[in-house]
Structures are given as structure tokens and as C-alpha cells.
């Protein structure tokens, strides 16, 4: 952990945003027996994991969600379906059943699970204040979402 602190965290806190270099340093600082260990560490470092040390699950941390919403702020506000489509277009994140179209997930993950995942993400966004739930079950993402009655 000390090696990773010196190799990645301290340069990042000092302003380094050369992410390929930081990822390479993180990999070299680790003592991974398998490539997947390095990948999990990288995902955990950017907020893709939640939970404790015993049980961990893949999700977006509140910080990562804020960063994703902020990166698309010029297009805000937008409905959740549009937001999830933009996540797929920009970063390849598949959150919903609509986003799984034309991916390997369509045959591997049941559509009901992806629809439930979309609902969970909408709930997290609303609870974190990044979105507003409208009376017609529409979820609007963006900083002005709570101040507008429509998109």
C-alpha cells in the first residue's frame, strides 16, 4: 500500500492527470499474482467498488457519480435514459437494458436484471441529489434537475 501511495496517490494529489502513466505505476507497485488483481485494484481506486473488506460489489461511488454527471453538465438536465446512453457512448458503461443492446451483455444478463440495475442507479442518483424524480416516474439528471419541472 505504501508503494501505491507513493507511486500513484501522491502524484495524483499533486496534480498529475497522466492516467496511463498512473495506471502503469499502480500495476508496477502492486504484487499481483494474477492480472485480475491489478484490474480490481485499479477499479477500486477510481470508485467502482463498494462494501467492506469481506464483501465487495461493483457499483459507482458517490464521488464517481458526481464526476460523471459533472463531465456531462453542459448537456444537462437530461432524462436518465439519455444519461445512461451517454455513459455508454463516452465510457462504455452499460447500466440499463437499453444500453446492453449490441453488447455481449444482451445474451448473458437477463433484461430484468438490467432493468433493475437501471432503477437502482436512478435511486442512487436521486438520493445523492444528482437527479430529481418527477411525478410521472421520469428521472431527470443534472444540477438544475430539482429546479425544473420538465426537461
* Structure confidence by residue, pLDDT tens digits, 19-40: 788 778 877 777 666 666 666 6
Q: What is the pLDDT of residue 139?
A: 93
Q: What are the backbone angles phi and psi of residue 143, rounded to the nearest 5°?
A: -60, -30
Locate 86 and state its grid cell: 451517454
- Rounded to whole angstroms, the Cα distance separating 24 from 69 reads 27
What's the CA angle centered on 128, arms 84 and 79, to 5 degrees? Answer: 30
> 4-24, pLDDT tens digit by residue?
778 877 888 888 878 788 778
Q: What is the pLDDT of residue 151?
A: 44
Distances (CA, A) of 37 to 10, 33, 60, 115, 137: 21, 7, 19, 29, 40
Residues in the chain: 151
> 113-151, pLDDT tens digit by residue?
888 889 988 998 998 899 999 878 899 998 655 444 444
Amino acid at each position: 500500500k505504501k508503494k501505491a501511495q507513493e507511486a500513484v496517490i501522491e502524484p495524483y494529489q499533486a496534480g498529475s492527470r497522466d492516467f496511463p502513466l498512473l495506471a502503469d505505476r499502480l500495476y508496477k507497485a502492486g504484487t499481483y499474482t494474477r492480472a485480475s488483481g491489478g484490474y480490481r485494484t485499479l477499479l477500486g481506486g477510481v470508485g467502482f467498488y463498494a462494501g467492506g473488506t469481506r464483501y465487495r460489489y461493483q457499483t459507482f461511488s458517490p464521488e464517481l457519480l458526481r464526476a460523471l454527471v459533472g463531465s456531462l453538465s453542459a448537456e444537462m438536465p437530461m432524462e436518465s435514459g439519455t444519461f445512461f446512453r451517454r455513459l455508454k457512448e463516452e465510457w462504455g458503461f452499460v447500466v440499463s437494458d437499453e444500453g446492453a443492446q449490441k453488447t455481449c451483455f444482451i445474451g448473458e444478463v437477463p433484461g430484468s436484471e438490467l432493468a433493475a440495475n437501471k432503477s437502482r442507479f436512478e435511486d442512487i442518483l436521486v438520493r445523492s441529489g444528482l437527479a430529481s424524480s418527477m411525478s410521472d416516474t421520469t428521472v431527470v439528471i443534472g444540477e438544475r434537475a430539482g429546479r425544473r419541472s420538465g426537461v
